[in-house]
Homo-oligomer: A and B are copies of this chain.
Amino acid sequence: MSSPSEQSPPEGIRFRLHTIIFEADTPAGRAFDIALLWAIVFSIIAVMLESVAPLRERYGPELRAAEWFFTALFSIEYVFRLIAVRRPLLYARSFYGLVDLLAILPTFLSIVFPGAQSLLVVRVIRLLRVFRVLKLAHLLGQAEILITALRASRPKITVFLGTVLTIVVVMGAVMYVVEGGANGFDSIPRAMYWAIVTVTTVGFGDITPKTVLGQLIASVLMVMGYGIIAVPTGIVSVELAAATRHAVDTRACLGCGVQGHDLDASHCKYCGHSL
């Protein structure tokens, strides 16, 4: 992610706004971030409470007022963000620009289309805005190690997920034939849903095998699911160990300038220069 600060060189108010809204290294910027964090959290709580029928009936006006208050707040913030950057359109089309828009749009649209209750739920997308604020926190380094490890695990995880999907499809088809519609397995997709519930060890129990053969196959599937969870765990452990090891050492070679040496390395592995 290229920092938006590259697009807006110092020029008076815009620069000041940018420092407050987009950066966190000034007291004003930090205060803005903290205030924004709380506003997001409270607005999400308001959305949640509004979905509870008894609360909606009793505190309906108050919740709607709170909603409009937060929408107004985020709208002002959105306008200031557009002002603070040099190229507003580029920002508006970026990921966080769209998230910012989606955070305020549903409330305005609820005036135009009064019945669209379900539309209001889109507001929980505001939660994603929290990540923008946290982006600046010290957790970023740790998140980066996690992401590096998960990215390195991707090909292995793909193979693993492909295997799980194959097991689910084949087992779903088998259980559809073995158990049949009378026991809840009334189509292959539904039997696949059951297979996923079982192989992931969730086990809702809304659909369960009733026949002896079905229970035998289910047992095999359960032991499989119980065992193969070891595979992604092993993958992530190994990659995380590698990512942590690489993240630790920050020495740069004096000979060729390359970083990323192991902790126990005494010579550069690229040019042989001593570290």
Residues in A lying within 8 Å of B, measured CB to CB: 44, 47-48, 51-53, 118, 121, 124-125, 127-128, 130-131, 134, 138-139, 141-143, 145-146, 149-150, 155-162, 164, 166, 169-170, 173-174, 176-177, 181, 186-190, 192-193, 196-206, 208, 212, 215-216, 218-219, 222-223, 225-227, 229-242, 244, 258, 261-262, 264-274
Contacts and interface: CB of A to CB of B under 8 A. Distances in A.
Nearest to A47: B188
How many protomers of this protein does the assembly include? 4
Contacts of A150: 231
Contacts of A160: 146
B274 A272 contact: yes
A127 B170 contact: yes
A199 B164 CA distance: 17
Given A118-B177, A127-B169, A233 B238 contact: no
A172 to B, nearest CB: 8
Contacts of A274: 272
A138 to B, nearest CB: 7
A166 B127 contact: yes
Majority-rule SS of A interface residues: helix
A60 to B, nearest CB: 14
B174 A159 contact: no
Nearest to A226: B200
A229 B231 contact: no
B156 A145 contact: yes
Contact of A128 (B158, B164, B166, B205): B166
Nearest to A55: B187
Given A204-B203, A262-B269, A238 B235 contact: no
B272 A187 contact: no
B143 A159 contact: yes
